[in-house]
Amino acid sequence: MNIEKFCEKFGFGKVRKITKITGGLMHRMFKVECEKGVYCIKVLNKEVMTRKEAYDNFIVSESVSNLAKKNGIPVSSALNIEGNYLTKFEDLYYMVFDFVEGKTLTDDEITVEHCRKIGNVLAHLHSLDYKEIGLKPNIVLYKRLYDWESYRDNPNFNKMSYKNLYLKNCKKYNSILKRANERFNLSNKNQTLCHLDMDPKNVMWYQNNPIVIDWECASVANPERELLEDALCWSGFLSNQFKEEKFIAMFQEYFKYRNSDDVDWYNVICGNLVGRLEWLKYNLERSLGIVSNDKEEMVLAEKEVEKTIDEINRYLYLIGEMDDSITKLIRKETENYDDVVQQIVENNENLKGKSFQHLTSGFTNTIYSSDHCIIRICTDLKNEERFKKEINFYKENKDNNGIVKLYFSDTTKNIVPYCYEILEKIDGKTLYEVWYQANDEEKRNIIMQIINILRPFHSKKVQEYDFKTTIKEELRSLIKECNLSDPIFESLLELCDIYFKENKFGFIHGDLHFDNFILDGENLYLLDFERCMTAPIDYDFKIFSMYDKKPYLWASGETDMLTVEEDYKDVMPMLLDNYKELAEIPYIKERLSCYSIIELLNNYKNTKNEERLQEVYEIIKNEGLTKQKQKIIQKSYKN
């Protein structure tokens, strides 16, 4: 690198002073004072510029910045040198900009007003027509997964400061990345011009107005993802100083100019993890000397790996909060049930005069909190029969200490035009929030509490029925709806005659998953009995039977991306080891596999996701459901 010779050759005059500018994780920036002016010179990363597409990307980025400048967006564009924005000198590429008076802001200096101004810039940038400069949509589909554990074999790995931190986290990355890929692809339909790196280091402030610099990443991309990422950057997330008011301010300003009614923000938020995991992978390979032997780069990348692992972990915890914040901003006016709750409260001796708070509106029920109680209102009339079934269950099982107490219920509609119930309020966390952090002893204690809650109503004497036919009809219907013609499914149906011939009936919850359990620190409680029914007791574990494959399918938005298969692989084995009545059911493992197949086929029917169908075949293969096995089992059964 020889900036003095570069400046002399291309007419900037003799260099008087060179000052390295902080910022830039890949390229090097310098303030260069020359005879003819003061410039900002970027020396491009040599390894990056060996990539075939890199040069063209820089040309595109400067076309974008010039279009933005033409439309009144405050930008700093590269100077044209002999017809090029990029100039090769000796073995390096250079870009030259007029030096911008002003300063970048630290997180402590950034205010809500700064965030609003960035939101305004983004909204106007995203409104530009990319066709004007000859660009086309850039819809990218991600499916890539990586062998994260293989980096341990690199000879430099044991020297890395991030070694223990990485080993603690790497096993979960493909589980997270797989879901992030799916949600990235679902949320990638909108396309606009984007800067793609408008964090605080790339915005200069002069007289409290922004000037956007460093357009090297600019292209056609998804605007919602850029808005989200920039809101995180400007609200202090990167330095672990996240301020919700700054985060919200950027969205508020942006939404004044651009509509996002058709955007699934949860998919955007989860899909945004793709970039962070790709950045982690890239810096792992930089730090380990896989993509570069430059010592300075390796040291920089080593620090970036540690920083990125921390960011990913904090991001996972923030997903629910971000989704709630954005949803509140864009939510349409919904029917308000405050007057209904007011009447319920005033007509209840224990609640009269108490304040109340709206918690959530689900698909079928509206939920409020008041004092030590939860008020659940069945606002979907089509759900009334299930709602009444739940009330009856609470009444019949009031002596079970693991079930929340029903204080009052009313299905007469005399007070309000809805059925409602007033339940005990449990202050605690769902099992999804605690399970992945629990040690082996704590997990076993939780499993024993689950069994102790279930056993009393599982052991009730109930009216039996032909469950074998019920299961076969459900499977047969799914096979038909999914257009599956493989003869293996006929074998499966025939094996059901054996697997489901004997059944241990009881009363079951019908929707057992970790989001319906609340742990108050010591004691566990089971909620939501709207799907309770009479059935074989093992049918209550149809969701748990999937926990080694897809535990996150039943998690809430707050815990979805924190839930990975590795942490849940022992749930069903622990239940079988400790619940004797369950383990003694003939063909219990095969029955649970059939339930998993039903769950996966239902998902495939609704989503057409081929991975679900592949997982069905894997279960069948692992069970060895071949005609030969069928004959052996049938012969053994007859004998």
**DSSP string for residues in 284-300:** HHHHTTSS---HHHHHH
Lowest mean pLDDT among 367-376, 505-514, 625-634: 625-634
So where are the chain's domains? 3-52+63-98, 112-330, 338-424, 434-638
Helices (H), 483-587: 488-499, 565-568, 571-578, 580-583
Output the DSSP codes for 372-413. TEEEEEE--GGGHHHHHHHHHHHHHTTT-TTB--EEEEE-S-
pLDDT at 384 over 90: yes
Mean pLDDT of 551-566: 93
CA angle 434, 436, 442 (to 5 degrees): 65
Which residue type, as a one-letter code, is found at position 154?
N
pLDDT of residue 639: 47
User: Do 112-330 and 338-424 have matching folds?
Assistant: no
pLDDT at 356 over 70: yes
Cβ burial, residue 283 (10 Å; 0-12/13-18/19+): buried
The pLDDT tens digits of the residues spanning 597-620 come to 999 999 899 888 888 899 899 888
pLDDT at 248 over 70: yes
Looking at 3.40.630.30, 1.25.40.80, 1.10.10.10, 3.90.1200.10, the CATH number of the domain 112-330 comes to 3.90.1200.10
Mean pLDDT of 37-55: 82
pTM, entire model: 0.82
Looking at 1.10.1200.120, 3.40.50.1370, 3.30.200.20, 3.30.70.3460, the CATH number of the domain 3-52+63-98 comes to 3.30.200.20
- Give the separation between CA 626 and CA 50, rounded to whole angstroms: 53
Mean pLDDT of 448-476: 96
Confidence of residue 427 (pLDDT cuts 50, 70, 90): very high
CATH T-level fold of 434-638: Aminoglycoside 3'-phosphotransferase; Chain: A, domain 2 (3.90.1200)
pLDDT of residue 192: 95
> Where would I find the beta strands (DSSP E) of 440-488?
none
Domain 338-424 has CATH 3.30.830.10: no
Which residue type, as a one-letter code, is found at position 343?
Q
CB distance 206 to 102 below 8 Å: yes
Lowest mean pLDDT among 140-144, 245-249, 422-426: 140-144
